[in-house]
Amino acid sequence: MNGSEFVTRKIRYPHETPPDFGEVTEVAKGILWLRLPLPMALDHVNVYALDEGDSWTLVDTGIGTRKGREVMEATLAGPLGGKPVERVLVTHHHPDHIGLAGWFRDRGAELLMTRTAYLMARMLALDVQERPVAEAIAFYESAGAAPEVIARRREERPFNFADVIHPLPLGFTRIRDGDQLTLGGRRWRVREGNGHAPEHATLWSEDDHLILGGDQLLPSISPNLGVYPTEPGADPVADWLASCEAFQPLGREDHLVLPGHKLPFTGLPTRLDQMIENHVSALDRLHDFLATPAAAGACFLPIFKREIGEGEYGLALVEAVAHCQHLWASGRATRTRRADGAWVYAQK
């Protein structure tokens, strides 16, 4: 049996067609799946509405753009029947998941998040820059970014978190690993993952076979594991592998995972194996490649097995740094400073 046959047999998609924007699909009793548009290649994010009877609890909110609000408003008034949103639980701090959380809070909804996710979002929302700060430029130089990329970034307004989220409230309700929550008539256990985002909340139903997986448990794509100027010494690859391994004893074949992107799926044990193998294999290819020393910016091909376009460059660069840095932190590579400030990694 080859790998593709194994995947076909083990990972299944009960709903082969996603709901259109503004529509919903019932994925379990009392849980509706809706999608909101994103202005990027991955053009949607999943949101789940849990029926509380006279109100809704939403898990994630979409991005805080005009289009996102319009689709959300149409969905609330239409398929969600005009009932108010009483609570919003945000799985992690990324803008496509937290973008409208403040908008709902302004309307009276309670905001539930892990502490680190909330603090990261608040910090990033307050850090508005018209031009990249020197520390950010130094980070991209240390990653070995192409000189033309660095030159362009010096002159451009960088991505600002605040541009794509509604202002966040001052306060929130903390959830933490191990908490039991009652949402939509089900008891859920909070289990945190790391690597893609710190203290990323996943929710595991204790009454049936459902999991709200956010971006920690995706079916057919791998979330970005990046190192950023905010924590240049991070090792998100180690965090990701540890999280996947911690979930392995808990995952069952019949778990229905409701992910942050793409389609709900079953076959979680196989998917966890794949998510580990994806990065272990990339690290092995990178280790072989570093027989000739290189900076992270020159390591795209062994990690991703394809050429990287301009639109993908930024995310690819921070993920390349993460993989190079993991080899160095785990003792499989050395690194030295080049004259232009770039870290150069070499096989050990």
Tens-digit pLDDT profile for residues 63-90 = 999 999 999 999 999 999 999 999 999 9
121 CB neighbour count, 10 Å cutoff: 26
Residue pair 129/251 in contact (Cβ under 8 Å)? The answer is no
Q: Which residue has the tokens 């009932």?
A: 83
| Residues comprising the chain, all counted | 348
Helix, strand, coil share (%) of the chain residues, nearest 5: 35, 20, 40
- Residue whose C-alpha is closest to residue 143's, from 348, 346, 314: 314
What pLDDT, on the 0 to 100 scale, is given for residue 10? 86
133 CB neighbour count, 10 Å cutoff: 12
What pLDDT, on the 0 to 100 scale, is given for residue 22? 97
Residue pair 197/215 in contact (Cβ under 8 Å)? The answer is yes
* Eight-class DSSP state of 146: -
Please write the tens of the pLDDT for every residue from 312-342: 999 999 999 999 999 999 999 999 999 999 9
Q: How far apart are CA 45 and CA 165, in angstroms?
A: 14
Type and span of the H or E element at 237: helix 236-247
What pLDDT, on the 0 to 100 scale, is given for residue 2? 39
Domains of the chain: 3-125+161-281 (3.60.15.10)
CA dist 35 → 11, 179, 240 (Å):
22, 27, 26
Residues of the chain with pLDDT under 70: 1-9
- Residue whose C-alpha is closest to residue 346's, from 294, 301, 300: 294
- pTM for the structure as a whole: 0.95
Residue pair 27/13 in contact (Cβ under 8 Å)? The answer is no
- Can you state the angle between helices 147-155 and 134-142, rounded to 10 degrees? 170
**Quick one: 255 exposed, middle or buried, by C-beta within 10 A (0-12, 13-18, 19+)?**
buried
Q: How far apart are CA 170 and CA 118, in angstroms?
A: 10
What pLDDT, on the 0 to 100 scale, is given for residue 5? 39
Secondary structure (3-state) at 66: helix
